[in-house]
A and B are shown apart, each in its own frame.
Chain A
Amino acid sequence: MNDKKSSTLLALTAAALALPMASEPAKADPPDQKFTLGFKQSNYKEAPIAADQLGLGSPERYTIDVSHLKFKAPVSTDTELTTSVIRETMSGASPWYVAPGADGEPLQVMSGATISEERTELGVDFRSYNSNSEVTLSGGYSSENDYESVSFGFSGAWRLNQNLTTLSYGANTSFDYIDPSDAESFDRPVHETKKRAGAMVGITQVATKTTLLSATLGFSVLDGYLSDPYKRAFVEGNTVRDSRPGQQEQINLNLSLRQFFEGPGGALHADYRYYTNNWEIDSHTLELSWYQNLGSDWQLIPSVRYYDQSAAVFYRPFYETTRTDGFYSSDYRLSDFSAVSGQLKLSKTFTAFRFDLAYETYSASGDHPGLLEYDLISLGLGYAFE
């Protein structure tokens, strides 16, 4: 074969490679036309409050058992319906307010260990797919004796650039009704409501055969009763209701990297999240996970997460003077703190069956005496059939 002739193959191949789909497309995620049934049982246990940080009440905190059942079924060749039920039972005591100790140090006052609650959540997702785009409509309802919530969502994605780029978007809203128990005895508000509306846009790019990059930007507005009816704040020797602004705006940005390494047969998942709201809470989260394939469809996933946030502008552990704006909250979730957590997960997939087992331990540190430490154990089972 002489040079001029072989150049025909080169020229035609080069022209063919410019055609869409002539290069290997990234795998999209079409409905797999399978029925899948998933069940997950988790036990979440908060560590007791240390004796030197406890003012009054029980040191024992929440234990929550969660059962999650999910069922996905194809509706047509390009649509599927997912329904899920979550059942939670919780018991234990929760932080009530913070009072100054003899030396002015903050001490946590706990509610009596009498709380015993159940929560049920139902969710439905309807997903419709075609070769270049997909949309999902979602609905949810959650109920417990003092709280009800209804939510709706709409999300979608467009796949562009021979499936190498995915643009995603979504909007969601929820309506909550809060009617605290024992309101009269404990000076709690009644018949409160809360609304939430949010929207997000995202982009995911297949950068190389083994690298995936994505960025998501979200914005939410909350309106209504945003305080915690079961918490109080210590102000000049008295306690008052937890009282926060009736409006909050949130912005969050997520950046993630998925990098597969062929040598060890594993993938690095790196995620950074930035969150800010108009109560002046800023937070940063960095999470690193390693997905190691072990052969025979076993997978081991260690991960670590670091979290850091600043306090809300009106937050104090307790108040020595009254505030002109009337906002008071000593909720540890509004305080300045950082937290680390580690998780180890093991999973195994059989032909139609899979299971996973995970353990997570979390510890927060800061100046609030009620900051959390918890352990979480979960077992997941899945079954797929046609």
Chain B
Amino acid sequence: MPSSNATPQLHSAAFNAMGSRCEIQLYGPKATAKAVAARAVECVRALEAKYSRYRADSVTARINAAAGSGHAIEVDPETAALLDYADTLHEQSDGLFDITSGVLRKAWDFKAERLPTDEQIATLLPLIGWSKVDWQAPFVHLPEAGMELDFGGYVKEYTADCVADLCRASGIEHGLVNLGGDIHVIGPHPDGSPWQVGIQHPRQPNAAIARIPLAQGAIATSGDYERYMMVDGTRYCHLLHPATGHSLHPAFASISVVAARCLIAGSFTTIALLKSPEEPQWLSEQGLPYLTTDQQLRLGGSLETGVRASNTPTPMPSASVQ
């Protein structure tokens, strides 16, 4: 029986995974919380290894290595469901969210701060297009050599959900999973009070532009600040149009969405950013609580924020959540 009378202790585990700073905070008896946190970190590492583009033994690498070979790769049920999810993302974003567009990173070198040539982009465009992918569960095949799938656009959010489920299944009722700003709340603090989630300031590293109280559910944030380069005073960010291969200029510097699952929240932030040059109002019609920061750093949206600090950013401690 759970020791309901004992004061639960907060156990934190911080680590780097999926290219982000991650932390898991759990309340519970010390040994239990520690053991569950260890298993949670293991779960993140396992999914990172499974879907990493950089590991030759990953599912992603296996699928990509067979591109153009004529041989379909059989995938496991989890990967199959993620591919079905990618299909839904593609359809619901009118083709803007495309997991085959990752190949454009070969032209877009944000570290070098150099724009790609039209020729570079033109050679990559034939390799892009989810509708070209031969996906008939459980077999997937990329028809052109050089085509690539990249689960990076939503696997971190999915992982946050999995980890939160795992913690709940192990009896944790109060805690939070934060994978680089993709956050799934397992449950509020033991006294019932919500977690205060710091929203990354889009123009000042390690500063929060707002705080969102969240007692349950998930929140995800995306913005034009994650990977970008400034060339001749213009910001070129990692949001690339799959049809033109060019960097988009989103109407918002950052978007946060609250939903029951982090995967859903993250999908909406990304689709909303991709759609924002043409349809900046799209997110406001979806019925989910959200927070936007526009290019003039004005906050908008339907979320109650703890601090509206558009002009005086509050410092964000390394743990962005309290």
B165 with A24: CB separation less than 8 A:
yes
**A77-B35, A349-B1 known; A5+B285 contact, CB < 8 A:** yes
Contacts of B92 in A (CB 8 A): 7-8, 11-12
Q: Is B282 an interface residue when CB atoms closer than 8 A count as contact?
A: yes
Q: Which residue of A8, A14, A21, A32 contacts B286 across the interface (Cβ within 8 Å)?
A: A8
Q: Is A27 an interface residue when CB atoms closer than 8 A count as contact?
A: yes
Chain-A contact segment, one of B24-32, B66-74, B233-241? B24-32
A19 with B85: CB separation less than 8 A:
yes
Q: Which residue of B31, B34, B169, B263 contacts A25 across the interface (Cβ within 8 Å)?
A: B169
Q: Looking at the assembled complex, report how far the CB atom of A384 sits from the nearest CB atom of chain B, in whole angstroms.
A: 8
B261 with A22: CB separation less than 8 A:
yes
The CA of A21 and the CA of B29, in the complex, are separated in Å by 24
* Smallest Cβ-Cβ distance to B91: which chain A residue: A11
B152-204 interface (Cβ within 8 A of A): 158, 161-162, 165-166, 168-171
Q: Which residue of B3, B35, B282, B287 contacts A9 across the interface (Cβ within 8 Å)?
A: B287
Q: How many residues of B contact A (CB 8 A)?
A: 45
B286 with A1: CB separation less than 8 A:
yes
**A9-B287, A33-B32 known; A19+B88 contact, CB < 8 A:** no
Q: Is A205 an interface residue when CB atoms closer than 8 A count as contact?
A: no
The 8 A CB mask of A113-126 against B (1 = contact, 0 = none) is 00000000000000
B166 with A297: CB separation less than 8 A:
no
B261 with A16: CB separation less than 8 A:
yes
Please classify the interface of chain B as helix (H, G, I), strand (E, B), loop, or mixed, using the class held by over half of its residues. Answer: helix
The CA of A126 and the CA of B154, in the complex, are separated in Å by 40
B165 with A21: CB separation less than 8 A:
yes
**A22-B161, A28-B169, A163-B169 known; A351+B6 contact, CB < 8 A:** yes
A84-139 interface (Cβ within 8 A of B): 131
B198-230 interface (Cβ within 8 A of A): none
B89 with A6: CB separation less than 8 A:
no
Please classify the interface of chain A as helix (H, G, I), strand (E, B), loop, or mixed, using the class held by over half of its residues. Answer: loop
The 8 A CB mask of A273-314 against B (1 = contact, 0 = none) is 000000000000000000000000100000000000000000
The CA of A22 and the CA of B43, in the complex, are separated in Å by 15
Contacts of A51 in B (CB 8 A): none
Q: Is A2 an interface residue when CB atoms closer than 8 A count as contact?
A: yes
B31 with A74: CB separation less than 8 A:
yes
Q: Is B312 an interface residue when CB atoms closer than 8 A count as contact?
A: no
**A19-B158, A77-B38, A297-B1 known; A2+B287 contact, CB < 8 A:** no
The CA of A19 and the CA of B79, in the complex, are separated in Å by 9
Contacts of A11 in B (CB 8 A): 88, 91-92
**A5-B286, A8-B92, A9-B264 known; A20+B77 contact, CB < 8 A:** yes
The CA of A349 and the CA of B263, in the complex, are separated in Å by 39
Q: Which residue of B38, B81, B170, B285 contacts A20 across the interface (Cβ within 8 Å)?
A: B81
B232-286 interface (Cβ within 8 A of A): 261, 263-264, 267-268, 271, 282, 285-286
A6 with B287: CB separation less than 8 A:
yes
B6 with A34: CB separation less than 8 A:
no
The CA of A163 and the CA of B166, in the complex, are separated in Å by 11
Q: Is B296 an interface residue when CB atoms closer than 8 A count as contact?
A: no
Contacts of B29 in A (CB 8 A): 33-34, 386
Contacts of A131 in B (CB 8 A): 39, 43, 166
**A1-B285, A1-B286, A6-B287 known; A21+B161 contact, CB < 8 A:** yes
Contacts of B1 in A (CB 8 A): 297, 349, 351, 354
**A13-B264, A351-B5 known; A21+B31 contact, CB < 8 A:** no
B267 with A12: CB separation less than 8 A:
yes
B1-18 interface (Cβ within 8 A of A): 1, 3-6
A312-367 interface (Cβ within 8 A of B): 349, 351-352, 354
Contacts of A26 in B (CB 8 A): 169
B-side interface residues toward A, CB under 8 Å?
Answer: 1, 3-6, 29-32, 34-35, 38-39, 43, 77-78, 81-82, 84-85, 87-89, 91-92, 158, 161-162, 165-166, 168-171, 261, 263-264, 267-268, 271, 282, 285-288
Please, could you name 10 A-B residue pairs with CB atoms under 8 Å apart, sorted by A?
Answer: A1-B287, A18-B84, A19-B78, A19-B82, A21-B166, A24-B165, A30-B35, A30-B170, A351-B4, A351-B6
